[in-house]
Amino acid sequence: MQHEKILILDFGSQYTQLIARRVRELNIYCEIHPYNKIPKLSDDLKGVILSGSPYSVREENAPIPNLEGIKGDFPLLGLCYGAQHLAHKYGGEVLPSKIREYGRAYLSFVDDTNPLMKGIPKNSQVWMSHGDTITNLPHRYKIITSTNDVEVAGYQIEGEDTYAIQFHPEVYHSTDGTTILSNFLVDICGCSQDWTPASFVEETVQKLKEKIGNDKVILGLSGGVDSTVAGMLLNKAIGDNLYCIFVDNGLLRKDEFENVLDQYKHMGLNVKGVDAKDRFYEVLAGLIDPEAKRKAIGNKFIDVFDDEAHLIEDVVWLAQGTIYPDVIESVSATGGPSATIKSHHNVGGLPDFMKLKIVEPLNTLFKDEVRRIGRSMGIAKELLGRHPFPGPGLAIRILGDITKDKVRILQEVDHIFISSLKEVGLYDEVWQAGAILLPVQSVGVMGDERTYENAVALRAVASTDGMTADWVHLPYEFLAKVSNDIINKVKGINRVVYDISSKPPATIEWE
């Protein structure tokens, strides 16, 4: 089945992927492409969205898309930079803002007779992020919304289904942003909202069948949501030709190896457990740099999979549970100008010596989408509700070098923290939680003795997709009890701190 499609042209904004999430939440299929690599315009295209950008339209190297065949021919919505480009390119004026609007703003004027602004109340909160302002509009451009500081907060080109807004409807802080996007996608573009979890499963299984045929596939399972959903999709497509491997890299949570293998017993997946702890500890010995640790773990995973693949005759594919945030944090989004934040061990190609092709059924999905897909396939709520856990495991929650003793200490701390969240009903209120072993020792007193032991940081964040996150305000009484339990029960720890940093500017993981 060929779905109606929305094309999102990316100018390097950190928000571009959030636009895609909002479109998909409305059950509409969309694709992101670089502004300078516009695909052939197909019959299923219903509309185009121009993203924001870190650039100014006044810069010499500002990104300029070729909108021939799009503007005036398809419904078009420019967001932030996209709005400024459509004004600047066609005869308007964009100048540096006298008052730079960043963050919350409120609509002081709304033309609710305009199709884009239908149902949007005056004083609606929106999210601004721009250093330039549209000061003059070209001929036939009509203002459809304003704020107290920005007169041209939105406009339509008369005679065209071309619209633009200076703010970001895709960001949660724009309280009526979903309504604006729905007005554009459903009412203006005419999308029928037929891209659902069930349709994704059906179409993905069919594509996997066509792509893989009768080949054998090896999949690394982690016990997490992503690899589990990927495994179930592949199992539906190829059945016994899927060989699942769960590797104990020595960096898992306490008792996780045994628990994960037990979880999969009744799911119909063919799973083999591989104890490779010592192999990972060996390559991590003495490494301190976070990127060096990630790369060492990634390379060793490849070695282990290569060894296991050779034990299975005629394996052709390596499957991975890579999701979209992994991809966009490892390389600049869709080849655009956004910066690499960190590498992920399960993203990218394989070395030449490993003759396996990669299949990634989930690499266009965000975490919440993966969970919806899993629910539609009947995967247990407990498994789907598991907090995300980083591919490199506890290695990136141990700052500094990795030793078996440090892993043991952190496993015990993490177990107390996560178990306590579950016991008091807070686990499902948190998107991700964990503990970080700090390369810091401090003086303490236990009984009548002076101690000089390690500190740990506890981290709990709320998020929807991992792209942004805020720290969770856990009750003081809860934190006090957890801290007390950790210090009393985990030998080697005498101080516990709580991380109250948000993303951005911090990342969720410390390394």
Q: Mind spelling out the 3-state secondary structure of 380-397? A: CHHHHCCCCCCCCHHHHC
* Catalytic residue chosen out of the listed positions 85, 88, 168, 415: 168
321 secondary structure, DSSP code: -
CA distance 73 to 43: 12
The answer to whether the CB of 119 falls within 8 A of the CB of 131 is no
Backbone angles phi, psi at 399, to 5 degrees: -75, 125
Helices (H), 348-468: 367-376, 381-384, 404-423
Contact 93, 155 (CB under 8 A): no
Q: Model's pTM, two decimal places?
A: 0.71
Task: Give the pLDDT of residue 109.
Answer: 97
| Catalytic status, residue 168 | yes
Q: What is the pLDDT of residue 447?
A: 62
Q: Is 189 among the residues known to form the active site? A: no
Q: Which residues of 210-231 are buried (b: 16+ CB within 10 A; e: fewer)?
A: eebeeebbbbbbbbbbbbbbbb
Check residue 100 and give its pLDDT. 60
Amino acid 383: pLDDT: 84
- Per residue in 105-144, pLDDT (tens digit) is 999 999 999 999 999 999 999 988 767 889 999 999 999 9
Q: Which pLDDT does position 54 carry in this prediction? A: 87
Q: Summarize the chain as % helix, strand, coil (round to 5).
A: 35, 25, 40
Is there a catalytic annotation at residue 170? yes
Inter-CA distances, 327 with 58, 207, 258, 364, Å: 30, 21, 30, 9
pLDDT score recorded for residue 335: 47
Q: Which residues of the chain have pLDDT under 50?
A: 330-349
pLDDT (0 to 100) of residue 336 = 46
Kindly report the three-state secondary structure assignment for every residue of 41-53.
CCCCEEEEEECCC
Which pLDDT does position 442 carry in this prediction?
84
80, 189, 191, 244: the catalytic one is 80
Q: Which of 4, 101, 170, 453 is catalytic?
A: 170
pLDDT of res. 327: 65
